[in-house]
Structure 1
Amino acid sequence: MRRPNPASAANITRRGLMLLGIQGLAVGGLGYRMRQLQVEQADKFLLLAEENRINIRLLPPARGLIFDRNGKPIAVNQQNYRVTIVREQAGDLEETLYNLARLIPLPPDRQEKILKELRQRSAFVPVTVTEHLTWEEIARIAANAPALPGVTTEVGLTRYYPELKDFAHIVGYVGPVSDRDLNNVEDADPLLQIPDFQIGKTGIEQRMERDLRGGAGNSRIEVNAAGRVMRELQRTEGTAGQDLHLTLDKDLQRYALERMAGQSSAAVVLDVNTGDILVSASSPSFDPNSFVFGISSGDWNQLLNDPYRPLSNKAVSGAYPPGSTFKMVVALAALDAGVIGPEETVYCPGFYQLGKRRFHCWRRGGHGHTNLNESLQFSCDVYYYDVARRVGIERISAMANRLGIGIRHDLPLPAITEGLTPTKDWKQRVHDKAWLVGDTLNSGIGQGFTLASPLQLALMTARIASGRSIVPRIIRAVEGKPEPAPEAPDLGLSDVHLNYVRRGMYDVVNAQRGTARRSRITDPENRMAGKTGTSQVRIITAEERARGVFKNEDLPWERRDHALFVSFAPYTNPRYASAVIVEHGGGGSTAAAPIARDIMMRCLYGPAPPLEAYPAEERDKIRTLRESTPPEASDSPAPGSDRA
């Protein structure tokens, strides 16, 4: 038997001890690490585990409501019934969708889109099948639930505009968040990340978006390792958006649009004392609900290609040559500069000679010797050619700015036009041409480069009527807190000069030969003052004048003159100022003045003005019309009264 080698045994012992030492170190290290993870860092990893188990989801808040000045709703949130489907619960998807399509409208192309989306999503994620269903449709689905596995009905909130077309241009509409909205670095609200979340796209809905949107709520939910929702642990509702009260009057707004039906036109009515916009109507209009629910390409193209431009807010965005409604500006500029006196006359033979060129008056035979009052009453162009040349374009433009034209007014509305009050520097800068005397003459009658919106013309009229720098406003209260009316300091114009112009406007409507006499209000307490305007959209050549100028009715619609009328009433104590434009309507006295008179009477008297307030020659017609029309039910207060 072989005896053990002492040296080898010692060697094995040393190796065993080294191996045991290494193992001991490894076990010790593992033990220390386990202690560190389980004891010293237990709270940290518990938090991480909870975060993986608990998800926080944002909850959209209720959008703020919008009301008119009397508290009548014009933008509300209504229940939105929708249907969702979960793939893992539905079984045969095609059969389920087929059965669902027998209960509610669900076209084949929509079914294919749903199937595609279901296959792209996780099996437990619900997919929206359709929304904006009626209660009857929801009831049919509920009654057939056993045949619709995986199908669930839900209810949420969606925007709705109960007045349909009446406030579309002012209030606007909401729509889904776009990539452009998400890229807006100034608005990093996480609410925008919520699928199908809607924000304001146009109008007040867009400009007052942050006030109307509100703040997000949240829901803490427990999910498993696959991400499936197990239960809701906690729910905190969001903060509803702020309610807005506008200065607009619902009944007046609706009447203005009804009165302008069939026309491409606009009307604005201001409260002379506060600057409140009572009416801002653009015709034709559109139904904003069609955008909220998803407008079809056919309907969109029809709106886009309509020559009457229903998508355009003509009341604040339209810029038009103001025509003869601008003559008050020229008159006040000349009076203020001491260039003319009220009784000074200008001879009108039917044209004004400037070198070899003739600037024609609308009355071919002329008006003879004409003073300030008669120049407004008869709307003599030659008088204003002469006065404009003497006063100069710089003073005319400065007076126009003073009266609110050529100024972009601060209102929460998109695309508000600044209009244009040209100067010599402006033409040199923009057109790289010198100003001509002929440019001044054209500006003197509201033609040429001069442009103004119906809002600006109504504001000009309100400032002339009041003698104060009225500032327009459209937000009356936010979340029940009244917005103070802006200060309206004195215009700094002579009352004597203003009264000369006001009297001329009074005679336009009430004098025997006034251009708008047929549209007068005969009630002595509510007499109206105004000014007609007709602005050309084409150049009348010398050849056409020689053979006779074409009448508007003989021209294509798009080549006819624009018709304008501005007014205020009552004359002795002004409360309302208005402006009406009828695109390509022809003469201001025939197309715009009757509309403006009827809207003004609605402001003064409510739904049924007394027959005695109409001219005698119209009363039988009005009486017959009322007898054939059901009486309008209205418990509305007088415009401008406080109910909200």
Structure 2
Amino acid sequence: MRRSPKDQEGAHRKLSRRALLLGGMQLGLVGALAARMRYLQIDQADQFRLLAEENRINIRLLAPARGEIFDRNGRVLAHNSPSYRIIIVPEDAGDVEQVIGKLSELIPLPPEDIERARTEIRRGRPFLPITLADQLNWEDISKVAVNAPALPGITPEVGLTRIYPQLDDFAHVVGYVGPVSDYDLSKLEAPDPILRIPRFQIGKVGFEAKREDILRGTAGAKRIEVNAGGRVMRELDRKEGQAGADMQLAVDTELQNYAQARLGKESAAVVVMDCENGDLRAIASAPSFDPNQFVRGISVADYRMLTDDPYRPLANKTVQGTYPPGSTFKMVTSLAALEEGLIGPEDTVYCPGHLEVSGRRFHCWKRAGHGHVDLNTSLKQSCDVYYYDLAIKVGIDKISAMANRLGLGVRHDLPMSAVASGLAPNRDWKSRVKGQEWLVGDTVNASIGQGFMLASPLQLAVMTARLATGRDLSPRLIKSIDGIEQPSGAGESLGLNENNLRMVRRGMYSVSNDRRGTGYRSRIIAEGMRMGGKSGTSQVRNITAAERAAGVIRNKDLPWERRDHALYVCFAPFDDPKFAVSVIVEHGGGGSSVAAPIARDVMLQALYDGTPPLEAYPKGDRKRIKAQQDRLARERAKRAENPDSDRA
């Protein structure tokens, strides 16, 4: 039956509405897809490009050049030198053992290095490079390069390693670097990613370790393309890192070389401090060691030799070692009494050779005694009884406070390893640390730098410089960083009575220049360069009453480790102090006979900025000094000819 036109028109309208609805829905879907595609392809293009690149591009860190270290005159103390090494890629080598065998015929490969490489090959992926040999010379690298066709998978590489051209002269000051160890990483909460670069070197001890943050620099980066398995295909680009800062120290290489050589084979230390700004011109500890051995990787045998040596070459005696200061402490006791107004320059104490205190006899070094002595004579002849009597009047708390004021018992902030605080004890210290009451006998012992009293050679140099200038001088090791001058250690006035300081200095002058002074034999006779000084001999053993009755055993008749320490402190020129020097010779015996000549010789070397004329020495010393100067000159010349000690 035919539908009427009216019905047909109604059906057409329904169809049109459905078509429009369906078409609209399709158009909306297409529009949504188009919008999504635009969002993904345009708005999110960078993010998805990054995600794609992360699947094929790796970013690897580049080690920066370490900052170099110089002395005050620009002489190199630590620099970076090209380091040649041989790497192997196991999958390119094929038969790894065969390739290693061929390589060992060309260059020396230590068995321990080969075994280490084998371990790394077993643990790692076959396409990762492994270091076979490091610290090679150009001749070895040339041999490998010439024979490259016969050594598949072998590649010579060049990097940077640390070199210390001054060898053992600055080992205790500068220190050394070494590869990052698991122990190094364990000490850090959030290790810098750069520390995980294979064989990356960081400071281990000394200045290298203490200023690691400035010397290290910041890492660079390179982008490399890798395949799905992680194999490197090519390098896309790189950004070099920022080198560490160059550091200039206050030390003088020539003076340091001389001080180290002058100490010779003794177990000893010497510190030279500038009285104007606190600069440490020399800070030498003997015996020493070659820090380059540690950079290259020291052998077990060599390391055992250092650790088993009774003279302790690894210890920095200048700042780490603390010793009873002995009679070099007497200036502290006398100044404490002077500041309290308890003595005057003419006041005397009678010395019969001992003093009875609380039923105990405290002896003077001179068994027969010194008779009546005043302040000047007590310093000149180092009378112990004078200071026993003085200390009882002053009290330990005032003595300890004066010691702190002069730089003893205080840790000086230097970028060196194990800087010791020493000890200037008082009543509170003994109660807190020992749980005991302070005794008057403790005060008597402390008055002459014995008992609990301890000081380092650095602290004794600071004490001497402060006595010489009356200023709060502080030791300075860093002169400049990247050419920027660092704060001076000149300091302000200590606030001490100048007349009291003058009396103490006059006593030190008598020690060195009066015929009866303990340091007279080691005086300076050059006009305008006379020095003030003080000797010290500190006991390391108790002398029994029976031994005193029979006669005290001489130091030379005792085993080395039971002999007294020898000390000497001095400043010069007396009228215009430029340098303060402290010397300690472990178990050396008498300070005046052993330490004083070293201090005088080093002082003259500093004053003349080089080899002094023989006329500066007493006539009786000149023949010995000339022989010493000739010997040291030959040693320096021989060392300069050695290419391993190039002092560019």
The answer, yes or no, to whether TM exceeds 0.5 is yes
> CA separation of 1:607/1:146 partners in 2, compared to 1, >3 Å: closer, same or farther?
same
Q: Percent identity?
A: 59
Matched, 1:110 2:113: yes
Secondary structure of the residue aligned to 1:196 is coil
Tell me if structure 2 keeps the 8 A contact 1:118–1:127: yes
- 1:165 is matched with which residue? 168
Residue 116 of structure 1 deviates from its aligned partner by: 3.6
Matches within 5 A, 1:199-238: 199-238=202-241
Secondary structure of the residue aligned to 2:528 is helix
- 1:93 is matched with which residue? 96
Tell me if structure 1 keeps the 8 A contact 2:223–2:238: yes
Matched, 1:621 2:624: yes
Deviates more, 1:457-466 or 1:355-364: 355-364
- 1:566 is matched with which residue? 569
Tell me if structure 1 keeps the 8 A contact 2:358–2:441: no
* 1:348-390 residue CA offsets vs partner (Å, 9 max, x unmatched): 0110111321100000111000000000000000000000111
Matches within 5 A, 1:423-462: 423-462=426-465
- Aligned AA for 1:457? L
TM-score, normalization: structure 2?
Answer: 0.91
- 2:375 is matched with which residue? 372
Secondary structure of the residue aligned to 2:407 is coil
- 1:324 is matched with which residue? 327
- 2:79 is matched with which residue? 76
- 1:271 is matched with which residue? 274
- 1:153 is matched with which residue? 156
Cα separation, 2, equivalents of 1:47 and 1:629 = 66
Residue 505 of structure 1 deviates from its aligned partner by: 0.4
> CA separation of 1:574/1:595 partners in 2, compared to 1, >3 Å: closer, same or farther?
same
- Aligned AA for 1:425? D
Tell me if structure 1 keeps the 8 A contact 2:471–2:490: no
The correspondence for 2:602, drawn from 589, 599, 603, is 599
Residue 396 of structure 1 deviates from its aligned partner by: 0.3
Secondary structure of the residue aligned to 2:599 is helix
Tell me if structure 1 keeps the 8 A contact 2:245–2:482: yes
Cα separation, 2, equivalents of 1:34 and 1:198 = 56
Matches within 5 A, 1:624-635: 624-626=627-629
* 1:379-419 residue CA offsets vs partner (Å, 9 max, x unmatched): 00000000011111011001001100011111112211111
- Aligned AA for 1:197? F
Cα separation, 2, equivalents of 1:219 and 1:459 = 50
Cα separation, 1, equivalents of 2:499 and 2:225 = 78
The correspondence for 2:309, drawn from 302, 306, 309, is 306
Secondary structure of the residue aligned to 1:97 is helix
Matched, 1:497 2:496: no
Residue 302 of structure 1 deviates from its aligned partner by: 1.5
Deviates more, 1:598-607 or 1:393-402: 598-607
Residue 178 of structure 1 deviates from its aligned partner by: 2.3
Tell me if structure 1 keeps the 8 A contact 2:381–2:517: yes
Residue 184 of structure 1 deviates from its aligned partner by: 4.1
- 1:465 is matched with which residue? 468
Residue 578 of structure 1 deviates from its aligned partner by: 0.8
Cα separation, 1, equivalents of 2:117 and 2:194 = 25
Cα separation, 2, equivalents of 1:108 and 1:550 = 53
- 1:610 is matched with which residue? 613
* 1:277-312 residue CA offsets vs partner (Å, 9 max, x unmatched): 111111111111111111111111221121111111
> CA separation of 1:394/1:625 partners in 2, compared to 1, >3 Å: closer, same or farther?
closer
- 1:52 is matched with which residue? 55
* 1:56-98 residue CA offsets vs partner (Å, 9 max, x unmatched): 1110100000000111110100000000011122122222111
Secondary structure of the residue aligned to 1:218 is strand
TM-score, normalization: structure 1?
Answer: 0.91
Tell me if structure 2 keeps the 8 A contact 1:321–1:447: yes
Structure 2 unmatched runs, 5+:
1-25, 639-648
Residue 109 of structure 1 deviates from its aligned partner by: 4.7
Residue 192 of structure 1 deviates from its aligned partner by: 1.3
- 1:197 is matched with which residue? 200
- 1:5 is matched with which residue? none
Residue 267 of structure 1 deviates from its aligned partner by: 0.6
- Over aligned residue pairs, what C-alpha RMSD do you find? 2.1
Tell me if structure 2 keeps the 8 A contact 1:93–1:115: no
Cα separation, 1, equivalents of 2:30 and 2:290 = 72
- 1:384 is matched with which residue? 387
The correspondence for 1:509, drawn from 508, 512, 526, is 512
Residue 332 of structure 1 deviates from its aligned partner by: 0.3
- Aligned AA for 1:179? D
Structure 1 unmatched runs, 5+:
1-26, 635-644
Residue 133 of structure 1 deviates from its aligned partner by: 0.3
Secondary structure of the residue aligned to 1:366 is coil
Cα separation, 2, equivalents of 1:309 and 1:165 = 14
Residue 546 of structure 1 deviates from its aligned partner by: 0.6
Deviates more, 1:616-625 or 1:394-403: 616-625
Tell me the number of residue pairs that the alignment of Structure 1 and Structure 2 aligns. Answer: 608
